[in-house]
């Protein structure tokens, strides 16, 4: 299996950190932009896309600041990889940024970034943020 590489993407939002966090951490919020549907039980999320489903657990969260998910794949190296949403607010400008950390194989990083661009575009539409 190819080694996955960590990458970061940053997006600017016109939203409060509290509202943005709700769309990043709750099943109803995530199902508005990230996947078709989301179920949650304990710390385990089930994400549905059409006929397929994927499982993830929350491994870190801090209210209105960040949440980190780890895919439950059953693979030996699953604990190495995660995706994280981190919200930062500039104290001077009050601008809000969302920093996404994810992992992908070297040859798929550009595709992964395009997918995140599309997903975040959907999130901004839901939030009314441009």
Question: What's 45's domain CATH number?
Answer: 3.30.530.20
Burial class from Cβ neighbours inside 10 Å (0-12, 13-18, 19+) for residue 85 reads buried
Assess if residue 2 is contained within a domain: no
Give the pLDDT confidence score for residue 2 in this predicted structure: 66
Give the pLDDT confidence score for residue 64 in this predicted structure: 96
Instruction: Name the 3-class secondary structure at 52.
Output: strand
**99 near 118, Cβ under 8 Å?**
no
Cα–Cα distance for residue pair 94/79, rounded to 1 Å: 35
Count of structural domains within the chain: 1
**In terms of residue numbers, what domain contains 31?**
7-127
Average pLDDT per consecutive 10 residues, the chain (130 residues; last block may be shorter): 88 95 97 96 91 95 96 87 95 92 96 97 90
Assess if residue 120 is contained within a domain: yes
Assess if residue 1 is contained within a domain: no
pTM across the whole model: 0.92
Assess if residue 66 is contained within a domain: yes
């Amino acid at each position: 299996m190819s080694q996955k590489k960590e990458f970061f993407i940053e997006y600017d939002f016109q939203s409060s950190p509290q509202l943005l966090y709700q769309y990043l951490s709750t099943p109803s919020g995530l199902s508005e932009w990230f996947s078709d549907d989301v179920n949650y039980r304990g710390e385990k999320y089930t994400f549905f896309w059409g006929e397929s489903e994927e499982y993830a657990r929350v491994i870190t969260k801090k209210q209105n600041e960040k949440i980190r998910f780890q895919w439950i794949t059953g693979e030996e190296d699953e604990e190495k990889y995660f995706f994280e949403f981190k919200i930062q607010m500039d104290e001077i400008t009050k601008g809000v940024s969302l920093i996404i950390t994810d992992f992908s194989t070297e040859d798929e990083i550009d595709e992964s970034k395009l997918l995140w661009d599309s997903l975040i575009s959907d999130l901004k539409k839901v939030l009314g943020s441009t």
